[in-house]
Amino acid sequence: MAVTTAALALCRALVRCRSVTPEDGGALGVLDAALKQAGFATQRLTFSEPGTPDIDNLYARFGTSAPFLVFAGHTDVVPAGDAAKWRFDPFAGELADGAIFGRGTADMKGGVAAFAAAACAFAAQHGSDEGSIGFLITGDEEGPAINGTEKLLRWAYEKGERFDHCIVGEPTSWHALGDTIKIGRRGCLNGTLIVAGRQGHAAYPERAENPIPKLLRLLTALNAAPLDMGTPRFDASNLEIVSVDVGNLAFNVIPAQARARVNIRFNDLWTPETLAAELRRRLDSVGMKFTLEFEACNAPAFLTMPDSFTKLVADAVERKTGRRPTFSTSGGTSDARFIRAYCPVVEFGLVGATAHMVDEHVAIADLEGLTEIYTAILEAYFSKE
């Protein structure tokens, strides 16, 4: 079976698995079988933590020597939503108009299928004399990301596994396959701002204390000035007010409390700690009581500095597509934030324009092209020249 044909068949098989986080739906079993058939040593691992769902993960390796290039990704997907609004069953993997439709085709079963097909073909052709190829596959990327890649990495490290480089197959391409490679990501910090008042009748405000005007003043202070103007490799940090709530269903009641939720995407000028301190400083300047609670942050900003590895990946993309990819740090978080602590990591994959949408799909030509690019990366990475 041709490599690109194998990628399409594997992608369709993965899409047909209803692996909505935290369910595996058989997806890891499909991938496990394909890798075993190609000679990879595989291990299935389930990680747990109180208060979170158990998550299935897959680790695989071909070869025992260095250099060790590992591919990382996830087989879990977000819910399909109203299936009646889809052109096809979202878990059927239907082919139409030169594309494959289904939940996860873009994010990121297509990428997983492409790098698995490329790696299996490379292993069959070259054997294990030139180095090692590995896989870190989780079912928890779209969820809380607690029992997935982070624990899988720790488990592998404790076993003595040492990775030289990693490619995450996230859908990084923006307009056309190969136009963007992610070499870092901004961090993500979530916080809840709470202001207390005194509940009362709206007709007698002197007997109550309305927390809403206070909350508005505090939110204005948070957004009074930019957090920064960006850096050479990162966009400016941005704070978004994503929710304002008082839990009040009556028109004639002044509420007892008002709260707002904020999401901050921050660049490498900040750590979660320094950013939290700056937000508190801004709120303190208003001169009123408040409570600010932050969610635990496992997503700091990170950057893989351009080097010979990023050039190798970019060169392979350019040879196959004719376009030189842009190095970017835009977008949300990914599991690359965990991998960067173990080895240099870049993200490269399909066009993600329809990810998480109704009628998610990718062009078959792009899936085939991505498989060819991953093959070219493997050829260049393990070249003896």
Annotated active-site positions, please?
A: 76, 141
DSSP code, position 109: I
> Looking at 218-336, which runs of residues are DSSP E strands?
238-245, 253-254, 257-266, 291-294, 302-303, 326-328
Question: In this structure, what are the phi and psi dihedrals at residue 17, rounded to the nearest 5 degrees?
Answer: -90, 125
Q: 126-129 contacts: CB < 8 A, separation 24 or more? A: 126/382, 128/39, 128/62, 128/63, 128/64, 128/65, 129/65
* Side chain identity, residue 238: N
Angle at 174 between CA 172 and CA 176, to 5 degrees: 105
Q: How far is CA 151 from CA 44, 48, 58, 224, in A?
A: 13, 9, 12, 39
- CB contact set of 144 (below 8 Å; sequence gap of 6+): 52
The secondary element (H helix, E strand) that includes residue 96 is: strand 95-96
In the block, tokens 């009581």 appear at 289
What count of Cα atoms within 13 Å lies in the side-chain half-sphere of residue 147? Answer: 19
The verdict on whether omega for the bond into residue 205 sits within 30 degrees of 0, i.e. cis, is no
